[in-house]
Structure 1
């Protein structure tokens, strides 16, 4: 069971199937929250053997619901400790990505406008109406950006910051596709906002998917401390699987170098295995923040709904 954004090169799956005399079926189940809800609602009679895609914003909920069986994969020795958020190895890290504000290089250059260098800068009058964000109640990157503001400003003042953004012409849409492909000026060339909440890997994607070859990315990310939020995605063996040995082998497969090196150009996130090499496009065009914002998964789990309700009342009402 996976979220809808899961992708892998077909030949890798065929090779796993031939090696283990198995047939793998992928049950795509909506976004991360929807997929996790499905796994929880069916945990007494699980519909899959392995679940991939729960991230650190939902991790504590998955662990509290007891949907995973522990598995201490031998491949964990190749993964840095910073990605291991579950000491019991029920959820094993697979990949990570940073949600950041992306900006249209041409817009800022043509206007002679300096690129914002902090969250605070975004409230300045020269950036009025220039930022589009996704609703955190309906969008994973939207939620990640909200969490970055909580981490940076604290629970006591993050809402004051959002009120300032709203007063500075903040634009809110429901999903990443709308924000990036309709509102963002660099993607469509026609959108009204030159800044969008997206991913630090988006500039690399712009080059890879360009209709005409590009020598440099038309976009870049704002990477100042706390302006990005790091998402880590995990895989786990679903409790009650009748295929425990094969499930372990598939988890090992996802953590091993061939799958890890396939991840960037399939899902535009980074591998966690330190032995995996990045594709040239990522090395040249993608950016990694040195100090992304982070929050304890248990705190996110206990406060997520409260923060979302407060955000809604502050920004949309």
Structure 2
């Protein structure tokens, strides 16, 4: 995974969760986001995103060519930090639309009244990624990725150590001090990994994390530090050959002159993370945000997602890069935790996880 994929912010999610919806700063205000509204879209649309937003100038230029609207993006940390900033500024919106709220934080944004309803025209294959019930009217699926444990195959081969394969293996003393993960309270992939361990271990998840802690798991603030600094195959001088990342990471570790990556994802450890786009309530240019959401579902944008943001397009008719088909398969059976359970227990889980890992 080159450059930053879901690069993490420094603000702890728990700290912000404890805050109310007090307004902070100034931003857009004004019209509603009624799809049939008659207000003409402005020349610029502002989209709040996470720090891993990356899209080619050519693709964005095509949107401008089609609509006359220029896209301006604002990066606001990890998906969790992004969501919480939108909650804190909902009375004075930071932007017109948002991209990057994921399925672990979607309910928070919706319940806090951050978003306006908008039903985009979606390809049939997108339906399986939609949020349940009325929530589907607020956020539109754009891409997805599987958060999984990744391993440095070259490291294990050189050390002549059999690599782990399952969640349970990570607690084995054979892998003591070898795992690094982004924190659950400071990053969305870290939270996704926590949710995956809960889905796999049920009520025993806290005991599982106690074992991980006893086995020397290192917890970083975010994916950037975990993957590019502490992971042995992340391009730095890391000393940990096991990392929480994505199933799409391995293709980006293919050495020059080779056709095979040096890493692999453990597909039995994955949680499926879906990213959404929405219109912010009270936006100055809701029509522009609606048009950009529609554009993100078009094939030009969908086809550009793998190489630009290292995620899978929700439009199943879009062809993936050739190396993805071989080296970045999605999990055939990702860990399942319902959106309702995440909504009901997220704050409790994060507090308990913090207590377990801080001992």
Superposition TM-score, scaled by structure 1 size: 0.91
Alpha-carbon deviations, 1:27-84, whole Å to 9, x = none? 222221222223223323323221111000101101101222222222x233343201
Does structure 1 residue 257 correspond to structure 2 residue 299?
yes
Whether the 8 Å contact between 1:205 and 1:268 is mirrored in structure 2 is no
**Cross-structure match for 2:75:** 28
1:245 Cα deviation after fit? 3.2
Aligned to 1:301: 343
Answering whether residue 286 of structure 2 is matched by residue 240 of structure 1, we say no
1:124 corresponds in structure 2 to 172
Which residue number in structure 1 is paired with residue 183 of structure 2? 135
Runs of 4+, deviation exceeding 6 Å: none
Corresponding residue for residue 57 of structure 2: 10
Taking the aligned partners of 2:191 and 2:50, their CA distance within structure 1 comes to 16
The residue number in structure 2 matching 1:220 is: 264
CA distance in 1 between partners of 2:155 and 2:219 (Å) = 20
Contact 1:58-1:297 within 8 A present in 2 as well: no
**Match in the other structure for 2:352:** 310
User: Which residue does 1:67 correspond to in 2?
Assistant: 114
Cα contact 1:151–1:293 (8 A) shared by 2 = yes
| CA–CA distance in structure 2, aligned partners of residues 242 and 177 of structure 1 | 33
Q: Is the 8 A contact 1:56 1:233 kept in 2?
A: yes
**Structure 1: runs of 5+ lacking an equivalent:** none
Aligned to 2:8: none
Question: 1:152/1:19 Cα in 2 relative to 1: closer, same or farther (>3 Å)?
Answer: same
1:222-281 Cα distance to aligned partner (Å, 9 max, x none): 112xx1111100001112334343332211100111100001111101100122111123
Shift of 1:316: 2.2
State the Cα distance separating 1:158 from its structure 2 match: 0.2
Q: Is there any run of 5+ residues in structure 2 with no aligned partner, and where?
A: 1-47
2:144 is matched with which residue: 93, 96, 110?
96
Residues in 1 aligned to 2:216 and 2:75: alpha-carbon distance in whole angstroms: 37
Residues of 1 paired with 2:325 and 2:251: CA distance? 9
Offset of 1:184 from its aligned partner?
A: 1.5
- After superposition, the Cα gap between the structure-2 partners of 1:187 and 1:77, relative to the gap in structure 1 and judged at 3 Å, is closer
Aligned residues: CA RMSD: 1.8
Question: 2:84 — aligned with what?
Answer: 37
Structure 1 residue corresponding to 2:206, chosen from 153, 159, 175: 159
Report whether the alignment pairs 1:47 with 2:94.
Answer: yes
8 Å Cα contact 2:272/2:334 also seen in 1? yes
* CA deviation after TM superposition for structure 1 residue 96, in Å: 0.4
Whole-angstrom CA distance in 2 between matches of 1:45 and 1:166: 41
Aligned to 1:58: 105
1:166, distance to aligned residue in structure 2 (A)? 1.7
Distance 1:170 1:244 in 2: 44
Counterpart of 1:111 in structure 2 is 159
Q: Distance between the aligned counterparts of 2:84 and 2:344, measured in 1?
A: 17
Q: Per-residue displacement from partner, 1:151-200 (whole Å, max 9, x unpaired)?
A: 1111x210101111122222222222222222212234742221111111
SS in 2 for 1:25: strand
Question: CA, structure 1 residues 80+15, in 2 after alignment: closer, same or farther (shift >3 Å)?
Answer: closer
**TM-score of the pair, normalised by structure 2:** 0.81
Q: SS of the residue aligned with 1:221?
A: strand
Is 1:229 paired with 2:276? no
Q: CA deviation at 1:303?
A: 1.9
